[in-house]
Amino acid sequence: VQLQASGGGLVQAGDSLRLSCAASGRTFSSYSMGWFRQAPGKAREFVGVVSGSGDDTKYADSVKARFTISRDNAKSTVYLQMSSLKPEDTGVYYCAMSLFSGLEHTELMITTSGYDYWGQGTQVTVSS
């Protein structure tokens, strides 16, 4: 399985940015896809996850109402639309493929343990 994240960059506070993650090597629609981020010196933290069908999503409280995860199963691609960006959103953003199709194991899927494949990460920097 390969996950290729892209779309990061340097933006100003209040701007929007869309990240993409293209997957290959597995039946994409059978697995939930998550986004995590990691700021310098900090642990990798959960951002959000979308179910295999795309019908269900869950977000971290810190990004709820600002970030939206979606997926195009025909293109084997998951997206993270980020708006009203804040300096504290700065970090390397990683996409990851879950062990599960749905979001029934939420307690696990909000941690890195719920995922078995990871992309290489894309840097997002938000200036104030």
End-to-end CA distance of the chain: 37
Token duo for residue 87: 């300096």
Side-chain half-sphere of 41: how many Cα atoms within 13 Å? 0
- What mean pLDDT comes out for the span 121-127? 97
- In this prediction, residue 2 carries a pLDDT of 97
Q: Hunting for tokens 């597995």 — which residue is that?
A: 26
DSSP, res 107: H
pLDDT digits (tens, 9 = 90+) for 70-101: 999 999 999 999 999 999 999 999 999 999 99
Helix (H) or strand (E) holding 61: none
pLDDT digits (tens, 9 = 90+) for 18-73: 999 999 999 999 999 999 999 999 999 999 999 999 999 999 999 999 999 999 99
- In this prediction, residue 103 carries a pLDDT of 93
- In this prediction, residue 36 carries a pLDDT of 98
- In this prediction, residue 5 carries a pLDDT of 97
- In this prediction, residue 79 carries a pLDDT of 98
Report the chain's C-alpha Rg in angstroms: 13
